[in-house]
Each structure stands twice: as structure tokens, then as C-alpha cells.
């Protein structure tokens, strides 16, 4: 039921050009996530991406 409701919500939002209602599944590693402000997360991801490019 939850999956179907989320799918319907996503379809309705997408039809209106809103793409922020997609399902975002955490998966088994959710406990490994880092709690931090969005700006810090983006900075960390950018740094990790740059580090991968130089490896």
C-alpha cells in the first residue's frame, strides 16, 4: 500500500513538473549515514569526488 501511494504521488507530481516526490529508499546501510547540514554534505561529496579523480 505504501509503495503504491508513493508511486501515485510521484506520478501526479511529475505530471506537474515537480520532481521532488520520488521514492528515496535508505537501504541496509542507512545506519552508516552521516548527520550533517546540507552545505557540509555537498562539500564532503565534492571533495570525495575530486579525490576519486586524482586516484
Q: 2-55: per-residue pLDDT in tens? A: 788 888 988 999 999 988 887 777 788 888 887 889 999 999 999 999 999 876
Count the helix, strand and coil residues of the chain and give each as a percent rounded to the nearest 5. 65, 0, 35
**What per-residue confidence (pLDDT) applies to 50?**
95
Distances (CA, A) of 16 to 3, 4, 34: 20, 19, 32
DSSP letter for each residue of 13-35: HHHTT--S-S-----GGGGG---
Amino acid at each position: 500500500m505504501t509503495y503504491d501511494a508513493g508511486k501515485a504521488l510521484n506520478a501526479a507530481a511529475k505530471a506537474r513538473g515537480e520532481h521532488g516526490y520520488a521514492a528515496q529508499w535508505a537501504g541496509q546501510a542507512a545506519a552508516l549515514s552521516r548527520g550533517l547540514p546540507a552545505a557540509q554534505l555537498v562539500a564532503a561529496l565534492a571533495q570525495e569526488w575530486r579525490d576519486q579523480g586524482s586516484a
